[in-house]
Chains A and B, each alone.
Chain A
Amino acid sequence: MTDVALTKKDFTSDQEVRWCPGCGDYSILSTMQAFLPELGIPRENIVFISGIGCSSRFPYYLETFGMHSIHGRAPTIASGLAISRPDLSVFVITGDGDALSIGGNHLIHSLRRNVELKILLFNNRIYGLTKGQYSPTSEQGKITKSTPAGSLDTPFNPISLAIGAEATFVARSVDSDRKHLTEVLRAAAAHKGSAFIEIFQNCPIFNDGAFDSVKDSETKGAALLQMVHGQPIKSETHGLVHEGASLKLVELSSVSESDLVVHDAHNPDPSYAFALSRLSSSELSHVPVGIFRDVARPSYGSLVNNQIDEIIAKQGAGDLSTLLSSGDTWVVE
């Protein structure tokens, strides 16, 4: 714990923030700066590691340790750091291209290992920094500079991907919803192991309005399916009911409150969270937000370090002289 309570200002670096006016990254940054003091962790024990992309400029603006690394590889560097320094709180900042295209391999492996990392994926469904090519989350048919006739690829659903990769904590929030994002960050920070958070982030320059349906005051009430552990999953107009082994979206008016699925974020069966993740269609008319899955599994760093501790407890700490003279030796007089 720090001697004096830190404030948002203490986490704000002296660097001039250089995102485009109106970029969703600003509100995520501001929410993070306001949230960090609440953790009660000294600034020097917090590290932000990012890849490359607009979003990956994030660490420069935080008065903590930070590294702006190379495209897609932040989880690798962060893994080495988190495993060897369990005393640190390590955040990974990444974009949809950074995490899901060039860095897809590292993302899934960090999640399956459950490395003690808080991974924030800023999903603007576009390549921002390279000026507007389609990304692995862009909807099929997307017209961009590199796809003037429309993109052909089927997009990833980042939440489904993370669950498929054995993630123990998976959540989604929206850049402009400070309160919701803060709650998700709080839960992620409390989670042991990897926490994966997809944040819908508007890029007003290359993909403006991509998330309008979940932001406009007229549509968002209906579109946002709020997932709160122990509460029925519903938006203002729709709710979820069980249908066989699957989940089904229905109008609230057609069912009674007691028929609605009560959210269980701790459900050990990943197919439940996976079913939830499939509810968000590409056009985002209905989108679950909140925590899909939050289950306990030992973090990778704790497994690595416990294994070493156990070996030392059993065999004693290594002695270099003994090691060098192990095996068949002989003496020349």
Chain B
Amino acid sequence: MSKIVFVTKPVVALKQVTIRFAGDSGDGMQLTGDRFTMDTASLGNDLSTLPNFPAEIRAPQGTVLGVSSFQLHFADHHVQTAGDAPDVLVAMNPAALKANIKDMQRGATIIVDADEFTTRNLSKVGYETNPLEDGTLDSFKLHPVALTSLTVAALSELTLTRKEAERSKNMFALGLLTWMYHRPTEATENFLNAKFAKKPEILKANLLAYRTGWNYGETTEDFSVSFEIAKAVMPKGKYRNISGNAAMAYGLIAASQRAELKLFLGSYPITPASDILHELSKHKKFGVVTFQAEDEIAAIGSALGASYGGALGITTTSGPGVALKSEMIGLGVMLELPLIIIDVQRGGPSTGLPTKTEQADLLQALFGRNGESPVAVIAPSHASDCFDIAIEAARIATTYRVPVIVLSDGYIANGSEPWMIPDVDSLPDLRVEFAKSQEDFMPYLRNPETLARPWAIPGTKGIEHRIGGLEKADKTGAISYDPANHDFMVRTRAAKVAGIKVPDLEVSDPTGDAQVLYLGWGSTYGPVSAAVEVLRDNGEKIAQAHIRFLNPFPKNLGEVLKKYPKVIVPEMNMGQLAMLLRAEFLKDVISFNQVRGLPFTTAELVETAMGVLHD
């Protein structure tokens, strides 16, 4: 940093902080949040993030609808969620303040761009008086900073229009927060250098705004203290920060490499799944084929065709896309070919809440097809778990020759966390065997152990055969309308999926005598774990288990359910897993549901458990 500093301000040590950056969708809040995250990760704090953006790309400027935010929770210990109530809100305009103030608790810090609090902007969002002056924010630590004018003044030497200069104000805010929390500045400066390498004037503006923001914290009296959060204790290793969608893409590439199969992705863009398509498209040097099809049906059809030819066929989508793919998934069930369908769930039904999270596709994944059509269904528990789940999906699909549906969701997909980079050699060997040239080949003769049929790819001499969606005779695969054969084949396809080997459910029950079990699936893992930690810290006895394999269920699930008198199942749907557990195990679980497009907060889960523990 360029300025010489004479006064050293006091430094306060904190254990954890949650910051929310909020602004217009054009204010660059996601980038600001991303950079703060990277600098925090490299400092060694554990963290979890929650981006939240409007469905409209550019909603009208300065309106509550157009507010985009990025929340980051970081700590000197293991972090489970992106945090409930932020300790710090950075609001770039009155709309951002209005949209987020209800989530803030008394005593929290609020930093606003005071320049934006004009009469016009205030009335746009329905503020009759200026909240910076009317006392409504008295219970908060309010810092009105003239972000825009300070940025513009700092950049006055550059040949930029005022509009262009104003655009760097997010870097001013980032610089200020970087100073407040003692983040390193080098990585962000490197990032800016690379990003704007071809636009030197814009680069200068961003760097200057960033440094000015930092210096502002250091020199002005408004900010009297800064904070330090010690490194979290994490297992030894090399780390990076990763979002769920990126981890999923990497996991799929890893799976194709370990299986020595060509990765073929057939996809049609849809929020919040498109980033997997974008990420995979960048990695053609792995021989990855990404095919942006004309619709969801063509996307999965092409993946199935590639799989028929011996590739690792994958399709990525969200709920509405899964609805379109249903018939082709059924064909995959009938053809008994490997196929991976990744559903990054969002709020439904119909177009629903495209940018918000939900877990309401579970029953669609399990049953949303005609006929008896069993497929494997698995779900990642947190962002970096997407890497492992992708490998798991490939293992199941190729071993059992069956479609596998992976249920990620918007929270996991866009959220990020530090990830210990695995050693490539430690990843499972996924190599497969194709059917060899032979006489009297029978395409539906099964492996007695897995019940899988041969993966018999075109180009193999002597095993030419015909398959299709019509019911086929056991072993020969010839068309068969025989009633007993159909009954047998339906049961066999079901038995194959039921027999997929999945690990037992692990239960965490430190005292061994808890009476209440928190049982989650998918992205509720973080919030539930955080709640369980709080409960245990308060002396409550509570057990926790998390289901990653939804079809088939872990073999010991029934036993686990029996062991605990009370089982709470929190879901971001109307009780879909709860319905399955009741149906299959006759266990009257306590279903806790919310469909607000947001992950559960720790507080809500603690409160729910307290109600059950002490009823």
Contact = CB atoms under 8 A, between A and B. Distances in A.
Interface of A: 13, 15, 42-45, 47, 49, 52, 59-60, 62-70, 73, 75-85, 87-88, 105-106, 109, 304, 307-308, 311-312, 315-318, 320-321, 323-333
Q: Across chains A and B, which 10 residue pairs bring their CB atoms closest together, nearest first?
A: A76-B301, A80-B305, A68-B468, A80-B302, A318-B286, A77-B305, A66-B466, A81-B305, A80-B306, A109-B294
Contacts of B303: 80
Contacts of B459: 44-45, 85, 87-88
Interface in B267-291: 283-289, 291
B467 A68 contact: yes
Given A65-B464, A331-B237, 19 more contacts: A62-B466, A64-B464, A67-B308, A76-B293, A76-B299, A76-B305, A76-B328, A77-B302, A79-B302, A81-B306, A81-B309, A85-B306, A85-B459, A106-B294, A307-B284, A317-B286, A318-B286, A331-B238, A333-B236
A65 B463 CA distance: 8
Interface residues on B, range: 35 or more
B235 interface: yes
A327 B236 CA distance: 19
A81 B289 CA distance: 12
A311 B257 CA distance: 17
B264 A332 contact: no
B239 A329 contact: yes
20 contacts: A44-B464, A59-B468, A60-B479, A70-B331, A76-B301, A79-B291, A80-B266, A80-B291, A83-B264, A308-B287, A321-B424, A324-B424, A327-B240, A328-B240, A329-B421, A330-B41, A332-B234, A332-B236, A332-B237, A332-B238
A70 B187 contact: no
Contacts of A85: 306, 309-311, 458-459
B266 A311 contact: no
Interface of B: 38, 41-42, 44, 187, 231, 234-241, 250, 253-254, 257, 262, 264, 266, 283-289, 291, 293-295, 297-311, 313, 327-328, 330-331, 335, 420-422, 424, 458-470, 478-479
* Best-surrounded residue of A63, A81, A325, A327 (most CB of chain B within 10 A): A81
A204 B461 CA distance: 38
A182 B100 CA distance: 71
Contacts of B306: 80-81, 83-85
B308 A105 contact: no
Nearest to B239: A330
A83 B291 contact: yes
Contact of A83 (B42, B300, B302): B302
A68 B240 CA distance: 46
Nearest to A61: B466
A73 B297 contact: yes
B458 A44 contact: yes
Contact of B301 (A13, A73, A325, A327): A73
Contacts of B293: 76, 109
B264 A84 contact: yes
B308 to A, nearest CB: 6
A49 B305 contact: yes
A80 B303 CA distance: 6
